[in-house]
Structure 1
Amino acid sequence: MPAPPSRALVVEQGANPSTDFFVRPRLRASGDEVLALGLNATPPETGTRFGTLVFVRYLTPAWRRWVEQNRAGLGRLVFFMDDDLFDLRAHAGLPWRYRCKLWHQAWRHQAWLKKMGAELWVSTPWLAEKYAHWSPLVLPPGCPYGNARPMNTLFYHGSASHQDEIRWLYPVVEAALSQDPTLCFEIIGNARVRAQFAALPRVHVLHPMKWPAYRALLGRPGRTIGLAPLLAGPFNAARSCTKFFDITRAGAVGIYADHPVYRPVVRHRQNGLLLPMDQQAWVDAILRLNAGEEERRAMLYHAQATVTG
């Protein structure tokens, strides 16, 4: 019977390219089962054993205390860096706030790492040569993408006057992304919208743009399902159905609010979907449309015929 895989713990400041391109491929090539925790997450219970513990770029006092309490149950202790984090002179010219971060979360922990018997893993021969006294291991980059399925883009391109619709959409997008890993979401918005959606995976927030730039954006391929929610209210009563033209121009199929604005142009399940403002109904429709390529193709054909007359 083969031996069970060794468990490796990766401590990182959120999902990041350093882990995906260098650390994770190395651990998987060694046959390790990889668990990742955030730098600010609560460490595992005392006594938890790992064959390898890797700190990716950064370290905190809380994790230092945990390592000191559990060092006997840890195998390899590793610090990985893909920038020159241990030389303050190399940080000259960087933004002051970033320099402070490098000092607090990397530079000042060098002596402690050596005291704990940590290995140094680096991304380039240049770093290996500079820190040769630490006998670093150079990790070649690996491809983090594998045989990933193509992503379909769900999008909402509302303006600043659609804040209520953006708030209404959040749980819809959250549920759709959590249930279908082939979906990503695109939205246009300011810093507040970016902060609002920051916790969700696979979300891209575009800066607001002028009309010529937006027209060009719609001409680029890649969008699958467009969303056009509309809540009842005096301001929305005066809107027009231009979202139908935008979504169709993007080569996508639209899900539209069952509202007087869209009823004259959208024929349900023929050139789009016309739905009540029920969040679960929108989640179900998104998932069904994303899985139904033939249905999307047929509705897009009729939508384009509607636009061209």
Structure 2
Amino acid sequence: MFGKWAHAVTGLQVTEHLHDSALSNVVNILIIIEAEIATTQLIEQVIRACGVHGVSYRVQFLSRLRGKDFTPGTIPLFIRCADPLTLCWTQVLVDANRSYIYYIDDNFWRLAGTTPLATYYGHPAVRKSLEYAVSHAQAVVTNSTELAKFVSRFNKHVAVLPTFFDFSLIEHVQPQPTDEVRIGFAGSPSRVDDLGLISGLIDPVLEEFPEVVFEFAGVLPKDIVVGPRVRFFPHVGDYDKYIRFQAERNWAIGLAPLRDQEANRSKTDNKYREYGACRIAGIYSDIPPYRGTVEQSVTGLLVGEDQISWSDALTTLLEQPHRRTAIANAAFDHVKARYDVLNVSGEWANFFSQVAGQASNDAILPEGGSPSGKKILRKLDRLRLHVSVVYQEGGVLLVVRGIIRRLFGG
């Protein structure tokens, strides 16, 4: 369907670069989001960078979406949307023969545990909305081959587009001078279980290395108490501020623990890109997304789930500062060469151009008046009534208003 971007069950990663002649007309993208979170801000970065290739965009919240937002020639792009309102709008788009794209960066079907995030995506109304939106999209976009393989059971048209980093965010940031050796991690509260891989090492490391300080932002490992050498910083919802904070803290070592679970294997290599861009020597769980991206002992250290492996990796980097510096510099060079948003934006723009060339996106969504318009609006009203009932029953209302706003950042 999309040439090199068409994804079969085995997965296919984008490797083709854009030729300037590929975009003869401006491609208009309507980005639809539930809330401003790290993912939505990241996707806006790369689409903004696509501007030099003829791609324009604007952002609209799902809750404020109206029929007039779907102007002729515009391609809707839903980012991680699963609120039941998504079902309403995607059904309306399908009925009107309008094409749309769906972006997903987590395996919401395989979230483990009873975290608010897992509870939200496990709700029947949310799951129904998610699966309908994914299965009826003209194309599903992800950055993970593992996730693409899973999503292909719902939609065979899955494109794996490259991840990226916007170096302009930290262009003028100066790391804080310090004699401390800071070990850091930043993420959302949903990452607390992953931090269990390293929580048992904190006290022994602090005892053996008096110059070490642990810093956690957004989430603290269980049973770890904040003190003079264990610091906690509140979650930063704005991604630009978050990445500047990370660069300013001058972390010597960055931690990227991930338990070996299906949902985690579907994540992107965001910690590697961030640590590399900030010249931080990273220690990563040896599973996708880091396996195959991090070059062992060159651009980072890959370790297993056992505590001994994590302890050995930390000790190596703490006892060998020259090696730590070499890894940080090699990771920076690799991230700059491979992930700079200015370099990969052409591949994203080419994808959007191909979708636009094959999309059905000229039909006007009626606001009422004509028989066809009334039919669609009646269906929309009926679906909204269903959503209202679900909300009054409790679960989704509590989660949508709280979780999406506060916890979707990492």
TM-score calculated relative to the size of structure 2 = 0.37
Which structure has the highest strand share of the two?
1
Which structure has the highest helix share of the two?
2
TM-score calculated relative to the size of structure 1 = 0.48
Larger Rg: 1
Which structure carries more relative contact order (alpha carbon 8 Å, separation 6+)?
2
